[in-house]
């Protein structure tokens, strides 16, 4: 199963970014997690169909209205991480 690992940089903490990602991922039927990192970025790990991961990546690059995404670093891999749902950490 494809897995997306992404780090989102910019004004992405304190603006509801994790909730935005969680809503998007759940709507797309993806499993995984989203969390704030100490450096001010947001880390996303999502698992599901490649087309749905691509749709999430587009959403990450846009972000919610109050955020300011400067850069999204991402990589796709194969595997199963065993997430039962998409969660905020």
* Structure confidence by residue, pLDDT tens digits, 51-70: 999 999 999 999 999 999 99
The total number of structural domains in the chain stands at 1
pTM for the whole thing?
0.96
In a domain, 89, yes or no: no
- The verdict on whether 9 is a catalytic residue reads no
> 12: domain CATH number?
3.30.70.100
- The verdict on whether 50 is a catalytic residue reads no
User: Rounded CA gap, 31 and 3, in Å?
Assistant: 10
Domain encompassing residue 15:
2-81
In a domain, 87, yes or no: no
Kindly name the residue from 23, 33, 36, 37 that is annotated as catalytic: 36
In a domain, 50, yes or no: yes
- List own/partner pairs for 49-52 with CB under 8 A and 24 or more apart: 49/2, 50/2, 50/76, 52/28
Kindly name the residue from 9, 18, 23, 37 that is annotated as catalytic: 18
Residue with token string 């194969």: 78
pLDDT score at 82: 86
User: Rounded CA gap, 9 and 74, in Å?
Assistant: 11
In a domain, 86, yes or no: no
């Amino acid at each position: 199963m494809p897995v997306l690992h992404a780090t989102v940089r910019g004004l992405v903490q304190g603006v509801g970014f994790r909730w935005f990602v969680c809503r998007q991922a759940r709507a797309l039927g993806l499993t995984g997690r989203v969390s704030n990192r100490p450096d001010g970025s947001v880390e996303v790990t999502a698992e599901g169909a490649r087309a749905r991961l691509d749709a999430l990546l587009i959403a990450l690059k846009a972000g919610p209205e109050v955020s300011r995404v400067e850069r999204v670093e991402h990589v796709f891999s194969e595997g199963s991480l065993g997430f039962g749902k998409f969660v905020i950490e």
